[in-house]
């Protein structure tokens, strides 16, 4: 099978189950942003040398692919996996676990510190954009609210993990201290 099909040369793309939409459609923007999140999570995962974190990041990548496939399918007759409240709860437990070992946050934090932390921050920011795109899509189509909850919680988790990555690397978070002059 060839990688290129030439079917998108006019600015349209095919959806799962059939049908075509313009490449600037809110549906394509939403699942395209999810693809970016997935790539940045993979980028963070490549810098991770801890099996537990790597496994969890892999679970997240799979969940993002599920969400993207849901967004790419306008037809509920196509059998696709789903994201459940249990998966949102799992993210919450991982957030609580990470935050339970960290000192209280007293300042806004600038992205950075260790390389792994910086990559997690990059994933967090792309996740927030994907969440905004998903909100836009939800105003155009019926989208399961658990998807929005998952993306919201995922961004929170990536922030908590970025802080934890710095702590485990012995690198201080970088506080934002605005110039008050």
Give me the pLDDT at residue 8, please: 61
Determine the structural domain holding residue 129 and report its residue range.
13-74+81-171
Total of domains in the chain? 1
**Residue 179, in any domain of the structure:** no
**Residue 19, in any domain of the structure:** yes
Give me the pLDDT at residue 10, please: 66
Is the per-residue pLDDT at 34 higher than 90? yes
- Whole-angstrom Cα distance, residue 98 to residue 165? 10
Mean pLDDT of 132-139: 94
**Residue 177, in any domain of the structure:** no
Please, what's the b/e burial string for 119-128 (b: 16 or more CB within 10 A of its CB; e: otherwise)? bbbbbbebbb
Among the residue ranges 11-20, 33-42, 135-144, 162-171, the one predicted with the least confidence is 11-20
Among the residue ranges 2-6, 9-13, 46-50, the one predicted with the least confidence is 9-13
The residue among 40, 25, 42, 51 whose CA lies nearest residue 133 is 25
Residue 71 pLDDT class (50, 70, 90 cuts): confident
**Residue 8, in any domain of the structure:** no
The residue among 26, 2, 27 whose CA lies nearest residue 16 is 27
**Residue 2, in any domain of the structure:** no
**Residue 138, in any domain of the structure:** yes
Per the document, the length of the chain is 181
Please report how many Cα atoms fall inside a 13 Å half-sphere around the Cα of residue 174, on the Cβ side: 10
**Residue 1, in any domain of the structure:** no
Mean pLDDT of the residues in the chain: 90
| Residue predicted with more confidence, 127 or 31 | 127
Give me the pLDDT at residue 17, please: 67
**Residue 113, in any domain of the structure:** yes
CATH assignment of the domain containing 50: 1.20.1200.10
């Amino acid at each position: 099978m060839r990688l290129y099909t030439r079917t998108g040369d006019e600015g349209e793309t095919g959806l799962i189950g059939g049908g075509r939409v313009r490449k600037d459609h809110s549906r394509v923007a939403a699942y395209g942003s999810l693809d970016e999140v997935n790539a940045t999570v993979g980028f963070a995962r490549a810098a991770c040398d801890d099996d537990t974190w790597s496994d969890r990041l892999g679970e997240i990548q799979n969940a993002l692919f599920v969400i993207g496939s849901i967004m790419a399918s306008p037809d509920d007759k196509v059998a696709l996996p789903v994201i459940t409240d249990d998966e949102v709860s799992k993210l919450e437990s991982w957030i609580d676990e990470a935050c339970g070992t960290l000192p209280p946050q007293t300042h806004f934090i600038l992205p950075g510190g260790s390389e792994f932390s910086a990559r997690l921050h990059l994933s967090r920011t792309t996740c927030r954009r994907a969440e905004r795109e998903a909100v836009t899509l939800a105003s155009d189509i019926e989208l399961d609210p658990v998807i929005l909850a998952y993306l919201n919680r995922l961004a929170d988790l990536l922030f908590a993990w970025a802080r934890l990555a710095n702590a485990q690397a012995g690198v201080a978070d970088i506080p934002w201290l605005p110039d008050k002059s």
